[in-house]
């Protein structure tokens, strides 16, 4: 059984969920809201049934205010915006793991979506820093989840044209990143 979470655009998310081949519940989750996190296991259990446990958790959450990305100068991003982006994009991985680990099956997996932060990609700016933080957070989540028989890994899917990517200065990141990646692949 699939249980989905979403925040902010729940009506839009619900329309997407409704197109899935099988019905899936949608639970509101704002990873900056402690009450949402503290009640998440209980709310998921209400959907999957008492005594049932999760085999996997996918963290596909990322956000950086526009001041920390795009054509805005790297040095000009206000700390409040950067910290919000790192909270949502990296710290939330640990928050989600902490919230759901108690209802996970041994042998289960926590998986997060990554983007290679080893290079200073155009327009990605502070989101690159957030992804570097996510990689570090993942190592600590793996350390904490391991004794429970749960793995933690990140997957870097590469540059995929998504709504999020299109929102970064109208897709400038996508065009520039695709060219840089092509050059890197050629050697």
Report whether 63 contacts 127 (CB < 8 A): no
Contacts of residue 173, defined as CB under 8 A and 6 or more positions apart, other chains included, come to 69, 70, 121, 122, 123, 124, 165
Give me 90's structure tokens. 């990296």
Counting other chains too, the contacts that 2-5 makes at CB distance below 8 Å and 24 or more residues apart are 3/27, 3/44, 3/47, 3/48, 3/54, 5/29, 5/40
Residue at token pair 């190592």: 139
- Spatial separation of the C-alpha atoms in residues 57 and 98, rounded to whole Å: 11
Q: Which residues are catalytic?
A: 124, 131
What's the half-sphere exposure (Cβ side, CA atoms, 13 Å) at 24?
A: 18
């Amino acid at each position: 059984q699939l249980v989905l979470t979403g925040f902010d655009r729940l009506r839009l998310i619900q329309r997407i969920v409704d197109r899935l081949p099988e019905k899936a519940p949608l639970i509101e989750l704002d990873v900056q809201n402690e009450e949402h996190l503290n009640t998440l296991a209980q709310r998921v259990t209400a959907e999957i049934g008492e005594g049932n446990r999760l085999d996997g958790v996918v963290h596909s959450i990322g956000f950086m205010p526009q001041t920390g990305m795009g054509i805005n100068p790297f040095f000009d991003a206000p700390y409040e915006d950067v910290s919000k982006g790192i909270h949502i994009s990296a710290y939330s991985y640990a928050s989600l793991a902490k919230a759901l680990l108690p209802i996970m099956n041994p042998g289960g997996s926590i998986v997060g979506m990554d983007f290679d932060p080893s290079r200073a990609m155009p327009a990605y700016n502070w989101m690159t820093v957030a992804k570097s933080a996510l990689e570090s957070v993942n190592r600590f989540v793996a350390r904490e989840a391991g004794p429970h028989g749960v793995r933690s890994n990140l997957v870097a899917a590469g540059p995929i044209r998504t709504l999020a990517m299109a929102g970064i200065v109208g897709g400038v990141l996508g065009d520039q990143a695709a060219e840089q990646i092509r050059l890197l692949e050629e050697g």
